[in-house]
Each structure stands twice: as C-alpha cells, then as structure tokens.
C-alpha cells in the first residue's frame, strides 16, 4: 500500500539535482560502452565516412591511437571492422582466413600496444570479404547456404582468436555457428575467448552507413532477409537467444538498438544473462542528422539514448558515440 496525493507527491524527490541523482535508478558509465572502429590499409590514413558524419576509417596506427584513447576514457572494449580492398574480395571471402589480413594485423597491433588492458571484439561474418556483400557463401541462386558458411566462419573465428581477439562476435545469423565456434575455440586452446553472439539480429534498414564504411554497400545485391530476422518478430528472438545460449554464447546481442528495446527487455527478463545492444550506424546517423537540423541537442540525445539501453536491461552498448559519450560522462 502506498500513500496518495497530497501525502505522496512524486515531484518531491525531483525538486533538486542532488535528489534526482540520489533517486536515479539507472546510470550510464564509460564501462558500459563498446566502441566500433573501422580499419583501412595504409599508414597515417584517416578517411571520413560521408554517411556517418564524425566517424572515420583509420589505418592501423590510427586504430592503436583510438584504442589508447578508449583506455584513457574508461571504455573497456573496442570492436573492429575492416574495409577490405576490392582486389582482396572474392565470392568465397577467403581473405577472412588470411592470418595477415587487415583485421588480424589490427588486433595484434592493439594487443602489442595495450596488452590485456582493453578488450578487442571481432565480428565474424564474411560480408567485409565477399565480392557480393553477403555474410556467407552463396549458391547459384544467390541463396546464402548455412552449413558450408558455418565451416568457413569457424576458420574465420579461429583466425581472429589466434591473432589475439578477446570476444568473438558472430554477426552472420547462420544456424548452429555458436556451437561450432565454441567447440573450435575449446579444442584450439582458446578456452577463455568469449563469444558474444549477435543472437537477435534483424534485417534492418538501419545498416546503410555501416555497409558504406566496410565497402560492401555498393556490392550487395538483394537483401539479407533469408538469414537476418523479420522486424515483426519477438518470440522468434527469444528462440534465437535460447539456442545461442545453449550453444555456448557468453553474452547475447540485440541489433539494431533503439527500435528493438522491447526485445532487449524480454531477453533480459527471460534469460537473466548479459545482454548487449548495437546502436547501429543508421541510428547514429539519425541522431547526428537531428542535431544538425536543430531538432535536438546532440549531447543530450546521445546520453539519453544510451541511458535508455541501460534502463531496458543492457549491460553495455556498441555505439559510434562511445568516445564522445565517455567524455560527456566526465571520464
Ligand atoms: N554482418 C555484418 C554486420 N556487422 C554489423 C553490421 C551493422 C552495424 C551498423 O550498421 O552499425 C553489419 C551489417 C549487416 O549485417 O549488413
Ligand atoms: Mg541463431
């Protein structure tokens, strides 16, 4: 039984800043952020990404600087995505298995510079390496085949783990890949390498700027609806999460973020495991466009959206605003 007005005035605890701070149920800290970074060839290179204003691709020296910046800001983990040169792409995406590919060199460079002070998360999927821009191997009809793709993803994950990746994050949405990757890591001497599965990843219109950033946007024919989820489905997301947890995922991700906070909440309540969300490129671009148009205050929009992920149940958020947000949080 609770009191009612006027004995109960909910505005009472909101009347001053100290009291609002005292009663705040959810807080956002730099430790809740994962910073996605785009890697490109060369040295001393910074390539701004037009559809992702404020975000650049960096050559490996720049990536190491960003990793050190993350460390200084209290951001515990960076996520790496390679922009593979067109001539290194193929139908099979074999460059993903090259131990000296851009990704592996970037992982090693960060590990050499920062050791175990920062986590490196790596995406497992073939789209940065394929000439057709799909996340897996395609048959003659262009259908992305499941089991053949999983076999390649296992090798890709092992290649990343050998280079020093701390968290393997399969973003491909093939069935059965978490178990296959977990077994390979165990057998291959990488028992402590984590798997954060993109468990509930939707076929979304919010990935456009990312595809520009990794250079697969112009290549992609068709869509990814035969493997990424239908935006209308929530029960199916719970089944996806249940499977990935049973197969050995240490944590699960929901993607995109803000339009799918209901999924985050349901996954958290049902499974009580670490849940992450990816505030994807289109969401970032939307906030930047709103701020540029004078429709909202950029810093306030950034902090409010990130706090909303925490309130919904996220342990952390992958966001291109990570460094900016950490600075705002006074790290
Ligand atoms: N499998 C690739 C992958 N990993 C992360 C993203 C999107 C991230 C973003 O938009 O910021 C994508 C794009 C896609 O599935 O087409
Ligand atoms: Mg699945």
Q: Report, as an integer, the average pLDDT of 88-95.
A: 97
207 lines ligand 1 (CB under 6 A): yes
Q: Which residue has the least CA distance to atom 3 on ligand 1? A: 171
Examine residue 164 and state whether it is found in any structural domain, yes or no.
yes
305 lines ligand 1 (CB under 6 A): no
Contact indicator for 65, 39 with CB cutoff of 8 Å: no
The pLDDT tens digits of the residues spanning 303-327 come to 999 999 999 999 999 999 999 999 9
Examine residue 295 and state whether it is found in any structural domain, yes or no.
yes
Q: Which residue has the least CA distance to atom 8 on ligand 1? A: 280
On the question of pLDDT at 149 being above 70, the answer is: yes
Examine residue 8 and state whether it is found in any structural domain, yes or no.
no
**Nearest ligand by distance to the CA of 249:** 2
Q: State how far the Cα of 293 lies from the Cα of 192, in Å rounded to an integer.
A: 46
283 lines ligand 1 (CB under 6 A): no
Residue listed under structure tokens 């005292």: 22
Examine residue 23 and state whether it is found in any structural domain, yes or no.
no
- Residues of the domain holding 200: 28-328
Q: In the prediction, which pLDDT does 221 show? A: 85
CA of 153 to the centre of ligand 2 (A): 14
Percent pLDDT > 90 in the chain is: 97
Dihedral sign for Cα atoms in the order 16, 23, 284, 83: positive
On the question of pLDDT at 271 being above 90, the answer is: yes
Q: In the prediction, which pLDDT does 2 show? A: 85
Residue 228: which CATH number?
3.20.20.70
251 lines ligand 1 (CB under 6 A): no
> What confidence tier does 288 reach under pLDDT thresholds 50, 70, 90?
very high
CA of 22 to the centre of ligand 2 (A): 41
How many domains does the chain divide into?
Answer: 1
Q: H or E element: which one contains 64?
A: helix 60-73
Examine residue 142 and state whether it is found in any structural domain, yes or no.
yes
The pLDDT tens digits of the residues spanning 152-200 come to 999 999 999 999 999 999 999 999 999 999 999 999 999 999 999 999 9
On the question of pLDDT at 331 being above 90, the answer is: no
Examine residue 324 and state whether it is found in any structural domain, yes or no.
yes
Dihedral sign for Cα atoms in the order 71, 73, 78, 80: negative
Examine residue 12 and state whether it is found in any structural domain, yes or no.
no
Percent pLDDT > 70 in the chain is: 100
On the question of pLDDT at 136 being above 70, the answer is: yes
Q: Which of 46, 50, 44 is nearest to 212 (CA)?
A: 50
CB under 5 Å of ion ligand 2: residues: 240
Examine residue 243 and state whether it is found in any structural domain, yes or no.
yes
ipTM of model over 0.95: yes
């Amino acid at each position: 039984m609770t009191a009612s007005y006027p004995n109960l005035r909910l505005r009472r605890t909101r009347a001053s800043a100290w009291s609002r701070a005292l009663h705040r149920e959810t807080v956002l800290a730099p430790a809740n952020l994962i910073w996605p970074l785009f890697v490109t060839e060369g040295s001393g290179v910074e390539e701004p990404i037009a559809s992702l204003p404020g975000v650049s691709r960096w050559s490996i020296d720049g990536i190491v600087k960003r990793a050190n910046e993350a460390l200084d800001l209290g951001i515990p983990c960076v996520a790496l995505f390679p922009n593979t040169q067109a001539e290194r792409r193929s139908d099979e995406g074999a460059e993903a298995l090259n131990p000296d590919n851009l990704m592996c060199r970037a992982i090693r460079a960060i590990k050499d510079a920062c050791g175990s002070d920062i986590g490196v998360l790596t995406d497992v999927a073939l789209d940065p390496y394929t000439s057709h821009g799909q996340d897996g191997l395609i048959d003659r009809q262009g259908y992305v085949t499941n089991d053949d793709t999983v076999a390649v993803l296992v090798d890709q994950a092992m290649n990343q783990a050998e280079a020093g990746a701390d968290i393997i994050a399969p973003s491909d949405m093939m069935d059965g890949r978490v178990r296959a990757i977990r077994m390979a890591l165990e057998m291959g001497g990488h028992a402590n390498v984590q798997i954060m599965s993109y468990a509930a990843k939707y076929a979304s219109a919010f990935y456009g700027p990312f595809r520009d950033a990794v250079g697969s946007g112009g290549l992609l024919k068709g869509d990814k609806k035969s493997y990424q989820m239908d935006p209308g489905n929530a029960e199916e997301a719970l089944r996806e999460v249940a499977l990935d947890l049973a197969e050995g995922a240490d944590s699960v991700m929901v993607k995109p973020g803000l339009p799918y906070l209901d999924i985050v909440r349901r996954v958290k309540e049902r499974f009580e495991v670490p849940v992450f969300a990816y505030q994807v490129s289109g969401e970032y671009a939307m906030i930047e466009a709103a701020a540029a148009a004078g429709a909202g205050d950029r810093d306030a929009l950034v902090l409010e959206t990130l706090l909303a992920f925490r309130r919904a149940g996220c342990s952390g958020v992958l966001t291109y605003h990570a460094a900016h947000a950490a600075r705002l949080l006074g790290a």
